[in-house]
Amino acid sequence: MESLKFRIKRRLELYLELDIDGIRTSIIDTLLRLKKVTVDLLYNELRRKFKVSYSAVASTLGYIHSKLGILHAYKESYKTPIVYSLKEEYIDIIKNALSKTTAS
């Protein structure tokens, strides 16, 4: 049986391969750079480079959290926004996947 890290690596690489306009790569890169983000913060970062809607950023971040399994989500109270951060054990895998994507 394959390890969890290997499956996540494969899922992440496939996810980034299907990145047509560069938004997915930019989101992952921003997460690496900023360490912790909210949907608002990420949207404000991305709208400088891409024509993207708030809901598209929110759904993409939700997809990365639920399907790829590389994000940790934390909500202090029901009034505060969800704060997303990369899980430490996957940072090397993420950097490796991003370097493969930018090299292609």
CATH code for position 28: 1.10.10.10
The neighbouring-strand residues paired with 36 are: 85
Exposed e or buried b per residue across 53-76, where buried means at least 16 C-beta atoms within 10 angstroms of its C-beta = eeeebbebbeebeeebebbeeeee
Rg (CA), the chain: 14
The neighbouring-strand residues paired with 83 are: 74
pTM: 0.86
User: How many domains is the chain partitioned into structurally?
Assistant: 1
Angle between helices 91-103 and 23-34 (to 10 degrees): 140
40-97 residue pLDDT tens: 999 999 999 999 999 999 999 999 999 998 999 999 899 999 999 999 999 999 998 8
17-51 residue pLDDT tens: 998 899 999 999 999 999 899 999 999 999 999 99
Give the structural domain span for 39. Answer: 4-103
